[in-house]
Amino acid sequence: MEKFKAPTLVLLHGEMGSGKTTFVREYAKQFIPSAHVTSPTFTIINQYADNIFHADLYRIRDVQELYNTDFFEILNGENIFFIEWPFNNVPKDIYKNHPNIVEVRL
């Protein structure tokens, strides 16, 4: 697996149980061995290192909920940001200005 350089947005697509969190866990094993990767389904966003974050938008009902988190600050910062269910109840153009987007289909 290739190491991502910040800023990189990694959009993870796949059905429930397809391995989205496992993908992040395998990335972390290689590049952040001390990280304990868990699904952010209930926390919305997990942080694994200074600039490595993991979000799960499955439970988001609308984009307004993301304003109660650091989502937009992380999205617009010098971070590596893994996002599961990236288009669930959020506008399709929410990521359009990001300089480096990687889409992973599992």
Flag whether 21 is in a domain: yes
- DSSP H helix total and E strand total for the chain: 2, 5
Half-sphere exposure (Cβ direction) of 81: Cα atoms closer than 13 Å: 26
Q: How far apart are CA 106 and CA 74, in angstroms?
A: 24
Please say whether the dihedral angle defined by the alpha carbons of residues 35, 21, 42 and 8, taken in this order, is positive or negative.
Answer: positive
Flag whether 104 is in a domain: yes
Flag whether 35 is in a domain: yes
pLDDT digits (tens, 9 = 90+) for 12-29: 999 999 999 999 999 999
Q: What is the pTM of this model?
A: 0.96
Please say whether the dihedral angle defined by the alpha carbons of residues 2, 77, 59 and 86, taken in this order, is positive or negative.
Answer: negative
pLDDT (0 to 100) of residue 2: 87
Give the count of domains, the chain: 1
Flag whether 74 is in a domain: no
Flag whether 50 is in a domain: yes
Band (1; pLDDT cuts 50, 70, 90): confident
CATH of the domain at 50: 3.40.50.300
Flag whether 69 is in a domain: no
Residue numbers of the domain that contains 32: 1-61+99-106
pLDDT digits (tens, 9 = 90+) for 59-88: 999 999 999 999 999 999 999 999 999 999
